[in-house]
């Protein structure tokens, strides 16, 4: 058998070390040494090398986190050391009583107790077993004595090291901990589910439990799960540092050194007064944490003391869980109101009978959209479960159908916008309903003006977000046309404005009056009409009048527009207030050069191009404009539909993806040469 190329072996070992180190620094030290793109690029390179050299494969390589899909349910695993539950303290008095019981059992004074305190994560309890530093298997808690073997799914978690760091590993190590889903990941997961019409999870704990019990580890790998250790159940070491393994806090420090995450909130406190102060501080911090906790866990730190007290029934005498107020409560739905967001999206908001959830009075909760209301089969008058965690907006997650009153009322989507009276649109296949008022709708006004003034629209220099907020709040500007009526004398009255800044802004507004038809179409903010579509519409119709009078069938026939965008364009121009706004803009002097309508096919019709990296001979915007003039669609990301990628200097992940998909890639010199040939032909 031939010896592996030492250069290849060195590269593989280097990549494995870098990826393992990145995981350790991210999950243990809260440092980011690699961007997601860089991490993925190194991981892909490592996978490619291991495929090319299978003799160098290793079960603890970062590439081996996702295994094969199992054929059936999870086999059972018996816990050598039972995974027992904790008794609860529901208030500080019960916590003090726990301290007195422990002190009495140890024949000590309460203030002499050394107690380790840490958050009680609201996730799924699991057990991890390592043999000689390598992850062997993992299981759920189950009934405390028998759990499910979920090794394949646990291997997908980047916070679970497949190989421990450093050296002096135990021959055997069993770690207990919690798998949880951070709030940020939970919100993203539910947002994706809502957009695709799938079922949303009620809370992060349910999401974590459901994700861990997927029979296909590939699905688990796509879920934002993390692991945090809270106990060493077994440890067998050849060389024992008595100080580190004789206390709970010492064992947690060992785990961190080996690359296993533990709680950064962990503290050792002396006496019950310090413990109570910790619980209060953690409770105040609860809303700012990016994960759910339902309490604090207090344990005797010395393992010898734990052994003296032992267990009662299914719980240890040496530990207790101090519980915080529940994050889920039941209340009654009184009504549903529809709020209009900055993009025109209508969000149903539940008006509730006030209830305390996690220590906060809740009377409103989001219902996401009408599809969610239909999935819940929700009616006004229903009793509902409300979930709230951290600063996340309270949500209605479940209906208690057995408490439904006889006269419960159905919830219907309004036909017109509750703010401006414009027609509400909910197109087939779309999740959200939206106000079609656009520029006219006060709820959308600030965002519409920011878009109108943006660099790729009318590019009004000096008209930033804060100034627009101020102009709208003072009601000086209600439509884009009002911008061009602003006087420098009045603007100079604004805070931090000054005469010079006011004069510069008025001059910028005068300059912005002259634009192109494509920029103007893009600037007025028709839903679904980006720069490329705006250019396509300008070239196809040539004049604004031709576009605004176009029938739906004519719009649908335009290349690369499609029925959905055609419907948005058609609806926009049918609204009388939108047509009045356009007329007002023309009246205040906004003009553009009409486009020459050219029915001849352009060289790049039907093609999709992507630009990446830095170009020396032109900006990417200039390259994009030249491609669009030749009929190409210019996209921001690479896909199977991409015709060609132009790779400038320091091209990154888009180049890697193009190479993976087999998309044609050209350098700047080739791109410039082809542009010249196509433009000469035109």
Catalytically annotated residues:
120
CB atoms within 10 A of CB 667: 13
**β-pair partners for 89:** 322
- Three-state SS at 527: coil
Asked if 83 and 176 touch (Cβ cutoff 8 Å), the reply is yes
**C-alpha triplet 422, 426, 432: angle, nearest 5°:** 105
- Three-state SS at 26: helix
Closest residue by Cα to residue 40 from 61, 62, 24, 58: 62
Asked if 298 and 116 touch (Cβ cutoff 8 Å), the reply is yes
For 619, half-sphere exposure in the C-beta direction (CA atoms, 13 angstrom radius) is: 3
Closest residue by Cα to residue 264 from 293, 298, 228: 228
- Three-state SS at 415: coil
**C-alpha triplet 519, 524, 526: angle, nearest 5°:** 105
Helix orientation angle between 576-587 and 562-574, rounded to the nearest 10 degrees: 70
Asked if 376 and 399 touch (Cβ cutoff 8 Å), the reply is yes
Output the 3-class SS for 481-504. Answer: HHHCCCCHHHHCCCCCCHHHHHHH
CB atoms within 10 A of CB 124: 23
Closest residue by Cα to residue 64 from 171, 179, 161: 161
Asked if 255 and 165 touch (Cβ cutoff 8 Å), the reply is no
Distance of alpha carbon 392 from alpha carbon 405, whole angstroms: 30
Q: Which helix (H) or strand (E) holds 248?
A: helix 248-257
**β-pair partners for 416:** 423
Specify the pairing of strand 608-612 against strand 346-357.
unpaired
Distance of alpha carbon 247 from alpha carbon 268, whole angstroms: 10
Phi-psi region of 601 (alpha: psi -120 to 50; beta: other; left: phi over 0): beta
Closest residue by Cα to residue 613 from 575, 576, 658, 578: 658
Distance of alpha carbon 669 from alpha carbon 653, whole angstroms: 21
Distance of alpha carbon 470 from alpha carbon 42, whole angstroms: 47
Residue whose tokens read 């106990």: 231
Distance of alpha carbon 294 from alpha carbon 323, whole angstroms: 6
Residue whose tokens read 């889903």: 181
Distance of alpha carbon 571 from alpha carbon 564, whole angstroms: 11
Asked if 465 and 450 touch (Cβ cutoff 8 Å), the reply is yes
279's tokens: 């619980």
């Amino acid at each position: 058998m031939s010896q592996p190329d030492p250069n290849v072996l060195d590269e593989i070992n280097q990549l494995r070390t870098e990826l393992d180190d990145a995981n350790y620094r991210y999950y243990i030290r809260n440092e980011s040494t690699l961007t997601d793109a860089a991490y993925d690029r190194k991981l892909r390179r490592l996978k490619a090398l291991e495929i090319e050299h299978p003799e160098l494969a290793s079960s603890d390589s970062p590439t081996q986190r996702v295994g094969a899909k199992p054929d059936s349910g999870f086999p059972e695993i018996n816990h050598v050391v039972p995974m027992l539950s904790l008794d609860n303290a529901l208030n500080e008095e019960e916590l003090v009583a726990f301290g007195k019981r422990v002190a009495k059992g140890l024949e000590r004074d309460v203030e002499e107790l050394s107690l380790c305190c840490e958050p009680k994560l609201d996730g799924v309890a699991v057990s991890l077993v390592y043999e000689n530093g390598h992850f062997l298997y993992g299981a759920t808690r189950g009934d405390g004595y028998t759990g499910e073997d979920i090794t394949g799914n646990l291997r997908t978690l980047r916070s679970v090291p497949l190989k421990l760091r450093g050296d002096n590993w135990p021959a055997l190590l069993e770690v207990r901990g919690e798998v949880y889903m951070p709030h940020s990941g939970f919100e993203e997961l539910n947002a994706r589910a809502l957009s695709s019409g799938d079922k949303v999870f009620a809370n992060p704990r349910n999401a974590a439990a459901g994700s861990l019990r997927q029979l296909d580890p590939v699905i688990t790998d796509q879920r934002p799960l993390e692991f945090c250790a809270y106990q060493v159940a077994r440890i067998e070491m050849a060389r024992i540092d008595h100080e580190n393994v004789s206390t709970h806090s010492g064992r947690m420090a060992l785990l961190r050194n080996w690359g296993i995450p533990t709680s950064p909130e962990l503290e050792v406190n002396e006496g019950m007064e310090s413990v109570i102060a910790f619980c209060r501080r953690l409770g105040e911090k609860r809303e700012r944490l990016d994960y759910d906790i339902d309490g604090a866990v207090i344990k005797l730190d010395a393992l010898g003391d734990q052994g003296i007290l032992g267990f009662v029934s299914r719980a240890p005498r040496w530990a207790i869980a101090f519980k915080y107020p529940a994050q889920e409560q039941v209340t009654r739905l009184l009504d549903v109101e529809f709020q209009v967001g900055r993009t025109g999206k209508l969000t149903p908001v539940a008006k509730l009978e006030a209830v305390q959830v996690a220590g906060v009075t809740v009377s409103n909760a989001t219902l996401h959209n009408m599809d969610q209301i239909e999935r819940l089969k929700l009616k006004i008058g229903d009793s509902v479960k409300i979930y709230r965690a951290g600063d996340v907006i309270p949500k209605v997650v479940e209906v208690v159908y057995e408490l439904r009153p006889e006269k419960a009322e159905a919830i219907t989507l309004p036909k017109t916008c509750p703010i401006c009276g414009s027609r509400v649109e909910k197109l087939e296949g779309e999740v959200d309903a939206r106000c079609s008022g656009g520029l006219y709708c006060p709820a959308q006004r600030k965002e519409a003006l920011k878009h109108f003034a943006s660099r790729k629209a009318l590019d009004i220099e000096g008209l930033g977000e804060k100034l627009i907020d101020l102009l709208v709040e003072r009601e000086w500007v209600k439509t884009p046309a009002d911008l061009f009526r602003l006087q420098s004398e009045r603007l100079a009255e604004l805070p931090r404005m000054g005469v010079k800044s006011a004069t510069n802004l008025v001059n910028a507004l005068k300059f912005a009056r002259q634009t192109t038809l494509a920029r103007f179409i893009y600037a007025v903010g028709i839903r679904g009409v980006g720069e490329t579509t705006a250019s396509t519409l300008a070239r196809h119709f040539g004049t604004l009048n031709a576009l605004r009078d176009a029938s739906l069938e004519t719009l649908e026939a335009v290349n690369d527009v499609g029925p959905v965008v055609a419907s948005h364009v058609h609806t926009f121009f049918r609204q009388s207030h939108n047509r009045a706004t356009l007329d007002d803009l023309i009246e205040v002097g906004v003009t553009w050069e009409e486009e020459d309508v050219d029915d001849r096919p352009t060289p790049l019709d039907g093609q999709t191009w992507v630009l990446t990296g830095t170009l020396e001979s032109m900006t990417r915007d200039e390259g994009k404009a030249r491609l669009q003039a030749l009929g190409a669609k210019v996209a921001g990301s690479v896909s199977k539909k991409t015709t060609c990628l132009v790779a400038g200097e320091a091209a990154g992940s888009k180049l890697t993806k193009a190479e993976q998909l087999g998309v044609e890639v050209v350098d700047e010199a080739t791109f410039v040469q082809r542009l010249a040939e196509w433009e000469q032909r035109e």
